[in-house]
Amino acid sequence: MATIKDIAKRAGVSVTTVSRALNGYSDVNEQTRKKIMAVAKELNYSPNTLARGLVMNKSNTLGLLVSGMSKESVKDNFTYLVLAGINQYAGETDYDIVLFSTNSTKQREKTYSQLCRERRVDGAIIQGIRTDDPYLHEVIESDIPCVLIDISVESDTVGYVTTDNIMGAKKAVQHLVELGHRDIAMINGHDFAFVSQKRLEGYKLGLKIAGIPFRSDWVVKGFFEEAEAEKAAWNLLENHPEITAIFCASDLMAFGAMSAAKKRGLRVPEDLSIVGYDDILLASYSNPPLTTIAQDVSRLGYHASKLLVEMLEGRAESHNVILDTALVNRSSTAKRRPLK
């Protein structure tokens, strides 16, 4: 593979000149530049980014730490959409994406920051990692610039992008309240997801605004899984038959709740209203189609990489971006039945 040395030799100049010509410096004679360009093309030259990265101490790569990039997550497509957004932005820049496979068992040997440091990525985007992951804090506390998705931590080198989860959850509750519901339960994810904490806050806020007392035993965990949520919903409905609506912190969990309702002989939405969160593709295919809080996940990815690059280039005005959500009103919610 041709190097600048080869070009220099062939063009009869020094490597310095070649380097400068190729990088578009102005202090190169137009004649020599032309010549050098021609030779470079002739030799089918490609710059060696490894060598450049070594000397410049900059690799022009963004590390991507994702967890849960598995076959199973096709249902919610979250990881994929984030990636698509990142990829879209990266395509507009000179950065390439290095994917670190953190979901395998053997990766436990290497910490996230280890991975980033070895590859000398300029920055990292972190997604899908639980807040109790010890390696998460290690990378946050390292000096590697990074942007977190859906984890609101901020510092000199750390930024984040997320959606407004409090308002999102509030919207869901508000929608139910407007339909006349007052006995509204919640199926949340788990304690180690920031979004769960925020959505719980939003749920509480929604209740408060409506003057409905909060009951902690009406909030159960579904761990973002359909089957878990189904169990949780079953118990909820068994123990508290007065419940007429459930707000679920993810669409998948809403599907679980729907199944539980059906198995208990409750009709959705006539007997039980259900609101989901995410607006995944399947939300419009369920029976009944799911009313949910929509978030634009690929924008999340897009803005994550955009923010990171801006941070790297020292032109980030703020270290966080909060995206909006929207209520999508389908058919899993209805007016509360008149009380008997």
Q: Which is nearer to a copy of itself, 46 or 235 (CB)?
A: 46
Q: With CB under 8 A as the contact rule, which of the stretches 5-13, 68-76, 186-194, 318-326 interacts with a copy of itself?
A: 68-76
Q: Which is nearer to DNA, 36 or 334 (CB)?
A: 36
Strand pairing class (184-188; 158-163): unpaired
**Binding residue for a copy of itself (CB under 8 A) from 19, 77, 152, 197?**
77
Q: Which is nearer to DNA, 53 or 180 (CB)?
A: 53
Q: With CB under 8 A as the contact rule, which of the stretches 4-12, 47-55, 319-327, 331-339 interacts with a copy of itself?
A: 47-55
DSSP string, 195-219: HHHHHHHHHHHHHHHTTPPP-GGGE
User: Which backbone phi and psi does 125 adopt, to 5 degrees?
Assistant: -115, 130
Residues 16-35 that bind DNA (CB under 7 A): 16-17, 19-20, 22-23, 26-29, 31-33
Q: Which is nearer to a copy of itself, 124 or 186 (CB)?
A: 124
Instruction: For residue 326, state whether it binds a copy of itself (rule: CB under 8 A).
Output: no
Q: How far is the CB of 112 from a copy of itself (least distance, A)?
A: 12
Strand pairing class (291-294; 326-328): antiparallel
Q: Which is nearer to a copy of itself, 4 or 90 (CB)?
A: 90
241, 247, 250, 254: CA torsion to nearest 10:
40
How many helices (H) does the chain have, and how many strands (E)?
A: 12, 12
Q: With CB under 8 A as the contact rule, which of the stretches 34-42, 91-99, 181-189, 307-315 interacts with a copy of itself?
A: 91-99
DSSP state, residue 108: G
Q: Which residues partner with 185 through β-bridges?
A: 246
CA distance 163 to 168: 8
Q: How far is the CB of 52 from a copy of itself (least distance, A)?
A: 9
DSSP state, residue 120: T
DSSP state, residue 313: T
Instruction: For residue 48, state whether it binds a copy of itself (rule: CB under 8 A).
Output: yes
Q: How far is the CB of 103 from DNA (least distance, A)?
A: 27
Q: Which is nearer to DNA, 12 or 91 (CB)?
A: 12
**Binding residue for a copy of itself (CB under 8 A) from 5, 41, 51, 270?**
51
Beta carbons of 298 and 323 less than 8 angstroms apart? no
285, 288, 289, 292: CA torsion to nearest 10:
-130
Q: How far is the CB of 314 from DNA (least distance, A)?
A: 16
Q: With CB under 8 A as the contact rule, which of the stretches 4-12, 75-83, 170-178, 205-213 interacts with a copy of itself?
A: 75-83
164, 165, 167, 172: CA torsion to nearest 10:
140
Contact of residue 75 among DNA, a copy of itself, none (CB under 5-8 Å per partner type):
a copy of itself
Question: Token digits for 285?
Answer: 């295919």
Q: Which is nearer to DNA, 21 or 307 (CB)?
A: 21
Going by C-alpha positions, the residue among 181, 195, 171 that lies closest to residue 328 is 171
Beta carbons of 85 and 300 less than 8 angstroms apart? yes
Instruction: For residue 52, state whether it binds DNA (rule: CB under 7 A).
Output: yes
Q: Which is nearer to a copy of itself, 90 or 200 (CB)?
A: 90
Beta carbons of 205 and 199 less than 8 angstroms apart? no
**3 state SS of 132:** coil
Residues 114-133 that bind a copy of itself (CB under 8 A): 114-115, 117-120
Residues of this chain that interact with a copy of itself (CB under 8 A) are 1, 46-51, 53-54, 59, 61, 64, 69-71, 73-75, 77, 79-81, 83-85, 87-88, 90-92, 96-104, 106-107, 114-115, 117-120, 281-282, 285, 298
